[in-house]
Structure 1
């Protein structure tokens, strides 16, 4: 079955984070285009990284996936369950929950 999909890792570089700038990076391991070919081994390039701002990542990936033309879309997020980044610890869980609710509303 040929199902287009994308695998993206995400992290926040805490070493470069400041009160006004929190650099977040997305690493596309398998692109939608490459997913229709044998791209399985490339997932092995994923490694644990630094901090993560889960809510931000969910919002960015939701924007991206909504641009796709497929009628049925789904987003799967693998996380350590501890959204932690610069000045994010207190609000991380709430922000992640809100990002999920926002994504669910946008699916219709």
Structure 2
């Protein structure tokens, strides 16, 4: 990645660390393990998926933007705004996990 600026590399590392840490995948896994064998609410299920799959999908999009330099970095506020107003990522995650759960049976 010699063409990616150092500041973008650092931002990419931070993005991936955040998505995989307690605010992301690890936090979601902890919630998932705590809920194992219990009936949970739809809100709790969505929280688990938002932390696990959602955090990694978000990171993948943001890593791509950061790797594109100035133009990509300038899209980050737009991506953040789209995430706040759109229910589509949540629906995508739920569809994915329903499909996955069916395949596990």
Give yes or no for TM over 0.5: no
Higher Rg of the two aligned structures: 2
TM bracket (short chain): under 0.3
Structure with greater proportional helix content:
2
Tell me the TM-score normalised to structure 1 length: 0.25
Tell me the TM-score normalised to structure 2 length: 0.26
